[in-house]
Chain A
Amino acid sequence: MRVFAQAVLIGPLFSRLKERYPLLSFILTRIVSMIVMLLLLGLLVFGLMKLSPGDMVENYVRSQMLMQSEFRQADNIYTEEAIAEAKRRLGLDLPFYMQYGRWLYQVFVERDLGQSLISRAPILFLIRERMVNSLVLNLISLVFLTVISFGLGIYFSGKVGTRVDFAATFTALFLHAFPYILLLILLQLFAAISGWFPITAYPDFPFREAPVRFSFSYLYHIFLPLLGAFLSGIGGTMRLIRATMLDQLGQPYITSLRSRGIPEPRIYLAHAFRNTLNPFITSSANLFASLFSGSLILEIIFSYPGIGRLMYEAVRQEDINLVLANIMFISFLILLGMITADIALAVVHPRIRYGRK
Chain B
Amino acid sequence: MKYLSEYRDAQLVRGIIDEIKRTVSKKWVLMEICGGQTHAILRYGLEQLLPTEIEFVHGPGCPVCVTSLELIDKALAIASQPGVIFTTFGDMLRVPGSNDDLFSVRARGGDVRVVYSPLDAVKIAQQNPDKQVVFFGIGFETTAPANAMSVIQARSLNLENYSMLVSQVRVPPAMNVILSSINNRVQAFLAAGHVCTVMGYWEYAPIAEKYHIPIVVTGFEPVDIAQGILMAVKQLEERRYEVENAYSRVVSFEGNQPAQIIISQVFMECDQKWRGIGTIPESGWSLRPEFSYYDAEKRFKVDQIKPQESPICIAGKILQGLNKPYECSAFGGLCTPEHPLGATMVSSEGACAAYFRYSYIDQ
Asked if A and B bind, the verdict is no
- Residues of A in contact with B (beta carbons under 8 Å apart): none
